[in-house]
Each structure stands twice: as C-alpha cells, then as structure tokens.
Amino acid sequence: MRTLRILFAKELNATLTSPIGYTVAAVFLLVLGYTFSLTLFATKVANLQYIFHQMYVLSILLVPVLTMRSFAEERRSETLELLLTAPVQELSIVLAKYAATLTLVLGIFTLSLVYAVILDRYGEPDWGQIHAGYLALALHASLLVAVGLLMSSITENQVVAAALSIGIFLMLWFADSVSYLLSPPFDSLALNLSLIGHFKPMVSGSVFVSDIGYFITASMLALFLTTWRLAQR
Amino acid sequence: MTISAIDAAPSDALIQTDHAPAISASNVSKRYGPVSALEGLTLDIHAGEVFGLLGPNGSGKTTFMRLLAGYLLPSAGRLMVAGHDVVGDSLAVRRHIGYVPEAAPLYRQMRVGEFLAFMARLRGVPERNVKGAVERIVDRLALSAVVDKPTRALSRGYRQRTALAQALVHDPDILILDEPTNGLDPRQIIEMRQLIRSLAGRHTVLISSHILSEVEKTCDRVAVLLNGRLLGVRAMADTPDLEAWFLSLT
C-alpha cells in the first residue's frame, strides 16, 4: 500500500507539472462553455444531457492525449527499467498511473459542475439525472483511462498509443451500429459492447447494474491486460 | 570535486570464496524468439568482489545484467541472487540489488534530491530514514552542488553519479552497473573507478564494459562474453596481460 501511495504521488505530480494536463483541461472547458451557452440560449431548458454527451465525445478525443505518455514515455526514456527493477509489483505501477490520470480527468469533469450550479440558480434542473450523468461520465472516464494505459503499454511511441486508443474508443462507440449488419449471436455481442449503448441510459437518469457492470468489467480487464503486458519480460 | 571513498579496504582480502556466492548462474539462457542473447551461462560471483563482464557490444552483458536485476526473465537455467531465485522470488532479489542501466535514466521532471528520495522510498527505505539516506548518499557521491537542480539540467558526469546514487541509496548488498563509465571524461572515469573500488567488500559489484583497461583497473575477477557465450573467467591477479588473454579467447 505504501508503494502504491509513493507511485501515485509521483504520477500525480508528473501529471500536474506537465503542460499537457492543463492544455487538455483548457480545451475541454472552452468547448463545453461554448456548447453550454449555445444550448441554454437556444433551448431555454435546464438540462445538462447535451453537455454530458459533449463530455462523452470530448473524453474520447482527449483522454488518449493524457494516457499516451504513461508507459510509452517511461519505455522511451528507459525509466521503466528503474521501476521494474525496484521491489515493486507491476500491479502497483499500473494502478498508480490509472489513479493519477483518472484523478485528473475527474478533476476536469468536476469543473463542469459550474454549469449545474448555474442551472440551479436560474431554473429547476433534475438533480437525480445530473447525478446519474456524472456517474456515467466517471465510469466512462475509468474505461477510457484503463484502455488508454493498455495502449500506452504496448508501444514506446506516444502518437501510436493515442491513435490506437482513439481507434478502439470509436470502434466501441459504433459497435451498436455494426450489430445491425451481423447475424446472431454476434449482433447481440456487438450491441453489448457498445459504449454509447451503456452510457445513454445512465445520462437519461436510468441507472442499470448491467451498465455499471459493463464499465467496471471493461476497466478491470484493461488494467489486468496492462499488468500482464508489463510482466512480460 | 572528488567522490569520497567509503569503507575502502584492500580488495585482495575481500574475495570470500568460502561463502555462498552472491550471484550464481547455472546454465542460464535468454532467447528473443529465434535469437539467442545468452546461451548456457554458468558463473558464480562471490560476495564482496568487484566482478567485470567484458565483451563487445551485443555479447550478452546487458542481457545478463537485466536478468539479474529482474527486468528480464531467463528462458532457461537457474539464476540465484543473494540466495533468492530471480524467477520464483523476484521481489526479494530486487530488495537486495541496486541497478544502474546503461543509459543512466532519470526522471527529468524531478530534482536530484527529490529523485533520490523517491527511489529510496520505492526501494523500501522507511519514511523516517529517507532524509538521512538521501543526505548520506548526496554527501558520499559529492552531489550537494546539484541536489536542488532538475535532473534534466545535469551534465553527463552528474547524471551518471545521480544514477549511481539511486542504486546505492538503500545500501544494497549487490550493485549492478551497466557500462558505468560510458560518456564520462577522463577525470570522471578515474573518480568513478575509485568509487567502485571503494564499494568492494561492503557490496558485491558487477560491472560491464567493453574497455579492457577499465576492467583491468577496477575488477577483482573478469569474465569474457562473446555472442551470448561465456568464454572464460579469470582473477585479475592471475592475468598479467588481460589484452593477450582476451585476444586468445576471441
């Protein structure tokens, strides 16, 4: 546990001292602010659903920028050799990177709460739906960070890691569209893999255990594979 | 600026051949697919000695060191470090070693003191002892002038010394140094050599090099590797002409 804490502190410090995190946060909030103002003035409805969908898309594009460095940079600069020859479990290294990146993403998401506060000030938003929406976003971020780390662990090229991550996210996003082209049982398999298929109900306020299970299982699987990849010597 | 010699003692008295070896390799091989990087290596390294691995680039020196450090796993054979199996008890092995890879990697965003404290914690130094351990190693390796500098701003000599400091900060039994004089100027090479000699006895030191004179001046015993195979092992005291012996083997 002490090792995990030490590694987490190191990763969080690296994340917070890197300009990448701030750039991503700035782009994220700028786009969200623009969308929020536009939607609010156009619809005059106290609803954050549109914003949540916007955050879903932006996360898919921006989380790979945060995760691409994680292992790829350590491998390129050969500091991974220092970590893997210290008395440290591979799982601790993976969990520390996962927790640090997820903390940053959730921190950026938290800043968007200002929109909920504005809606509450001037209207009567459905807070149940907003809570469900943030739960969906947190689970979505967990999956994206875990898969992003996995992609970063298989290459020492950061751009390749980011491209692979975005590719996988887009495939998962559109998996439900592909399901119409497939025959049983592959159609239901593709449908169940769909990222948006599990995200949408929660953002609408319908929280199903199966949807939560999807995000948690996919995150754990990606973290397991990342650990396994690191253990390959 | 010179590096202080620590616990220096006559090296001849330090080769403890009557004790269990600090490092024991038995028929160790490492393959990358069809490519064999190390083939059937059998070798014992005694506690307290400075042991040199000599060979050209690609001879298997780095692979052997990475196997000892737990960064790679052997494809075959048995490798024991400080009495622990590198495959079955890798974490225990890693607690007993300090390792400096050839590139002497450092975390560029950290300052020297911060980096050493991080590595000390990672290598299991109790929190209450971290500050003292870092101060001792900074003093020992004459790093006080750069302790507050970011590691990315260090010269090659200080980089190498900081890399060595991280390997020594937890006072390991066994020190593995891959090409420790790589890129150093002549004065820094002499200082590094003195430092390594001063570690003998208290630590078992394994160094790799492709420079004959370096091994000759630093090591108690030397092994020659070529194409992943061990060609011979000799005590330096029994090798008046290392160059001739090396040429006769290769």
What was the pLDDT predicted at A233? 74
Contact flag B101-A81 (C-beta cutoff 8 Å): yes
The torsion defined by the Cα of A119, A122, A125 and A131, in degrees rounded to 10, comes to 40
Q: What is the mean pLDDT of residues B157-165?
A: 91
Residue pLDDT, tens place only, A47-82: 788 889 999 999 999 999 999 989 988 998 899 999
Residues B122, B102 contacting (CB under 8 angstroms) = no
pLDDT band at B140 (very low <50, low <70, confident <90, very high): confident
Residue pLDDT, tens place only, B58-72: 899 999 999 999 999
Residue B8 has pLDDT above 60, yes or no: no
What was the pLDDT predicted at B19? 59
Residue pLDDT, tens place only, B9-56: 333 334 444 457 899 999 999 998 889 999 999 999 999 999 999 998
- Which residues from chain A sit within 8 angstroms of residue B166, using beta carbons? 82
What is the bridge-based pairing of β-strands B97-100 and B174-178?
Answer: parallel
Residues B219, B192 contacting (CB under 8 angstroms) = no
Contact flag B101-A78 (C-beta cutoff 8 Å): yes
What is the bridge-based pairing of β-strands B204-209 and B174-178?
Answer: parallel
- Amino acid identity at A45: V
Domains of chain B listed by start with CATH number: 20-245 (3.40.50.300)
Q: What Rg, from alpha-carbon coordinates, does chain A have?
A: 19
Eight-state DSSP code of residue B11: G
Q: Is A18 on the interface with B (CB under 8 A)?
A: yes
Number of domains in chain A: 1
What was the pLDDT predicted at B210? 84
* Separation between Cα atoms, residue B159 and residue B186, nearest integer Å: 16
Q: A47 CB contacts (<8 Å, ≥6 apart)?
A: A119, A125, A126, A129
Distance from CA of B67 to the nearest CA of A (A): 9
A78: nearest CB among B69, B94, B105: B105
Residue pLDDT, tens place only, A175-211: 888 888 888 888 888 888 899 999 999 998 888 999 9
Q: What is the extent of the structural domain holding A188? A: 2-231
pLDDT band at A104 (very low <50, low <70, confident <90, very high): very high
Higher pLDDT, A148 or B214: A148
- Which residues from chain B sit within 8 angstroms of residue A10, using beta carbons? 107, 118
